[in-house]
């Protein structure tokens, strides 16, 4: 089954520098992935530095500078197009690739190894917040 899931638009990724989402791998395990701007299009990578298991986007957007996504822990920069890192602690490594396709400005997850779970990080699933049932307000005079 390789049904494509529409994620967002290229424009949105370019405006916000990154777009975080959660996928499930072939074993049903959840992982985070990020869309990053690359020239006119986008690329997607697993949201994890290759030096240590550090999230590149910690839930409030990744730092993208001069075509590189910068690891928040030790500052290695990975090329947003190739995923390759040529500097710092993660030098010589490449981010784990997630296949996406672009059609009419929309971005689709197009990877046999992953299925879309939800937008945002693993912990961002709905129902995770503290907003329990709001106490019904009894207005009495
Ligand atoms: S954890 Fe990313 S550079 Fe060290």
| CATH class entry, domain 5-118 | mainly beta
Q: Ligand 1: does its nearest atom lie under 6 Å from the Cβ of 22?
A: no
Using the mean position of ligand 1's atoms as its centre, give its distance from the Cα of residue 87 in Å.
11
- Residues 35 and 57: beta-carbon distance below 8 Å: no
What confidence tens digit (pLDDT) does each residue in 15-61 have?
999 999 999 999 999 999 999 999 989 999 999 999 999 999 999 99
Q: What is the pLDDT averaged over residues 106-133?
A: 81
Burial 37-70 (b: 16+ CB within 10 A, else e): bbeebbbbbbbbbbbeebbbbeeeebbbeeebbb
Q: What is the pLDDT of residue 125?
A: 74
Q: What are the sequence ranges of the domains in the chain?
A: 5-118
Atom of ligand 1 nearest to the CA of 88: 3
């Amino acid at each position: 089954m390789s049904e494509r899931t529409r994620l967002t638009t290229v424009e949105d990724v370019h405006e916000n520098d990154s777009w975080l989402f959660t996928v499930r791998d072939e074993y049903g395990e959840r992982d985070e992935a990020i869309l990053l701007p690359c020239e006119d299009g986008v690329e997607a990578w697993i949201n994890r530095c290759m030096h240590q298991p550090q999230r590149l986007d910690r839930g409030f957007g990744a730092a993208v500078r001069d075509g590189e996504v910068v690891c928040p822990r030790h500052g290695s920069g990975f090329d947003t197009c190739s995923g390759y890192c040529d500097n710092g602690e993660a030098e010589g490594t490449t981010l784990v690739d997630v296949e996406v396709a672009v059609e009419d400005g929309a971005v689709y997850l197009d990877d046999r190894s992953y299925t879309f779970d939800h937008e945002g990080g693993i912990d961002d699933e709905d129902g995770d917040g503290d907003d329990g049932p709001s106490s019904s307000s009894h207005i009495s005079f």
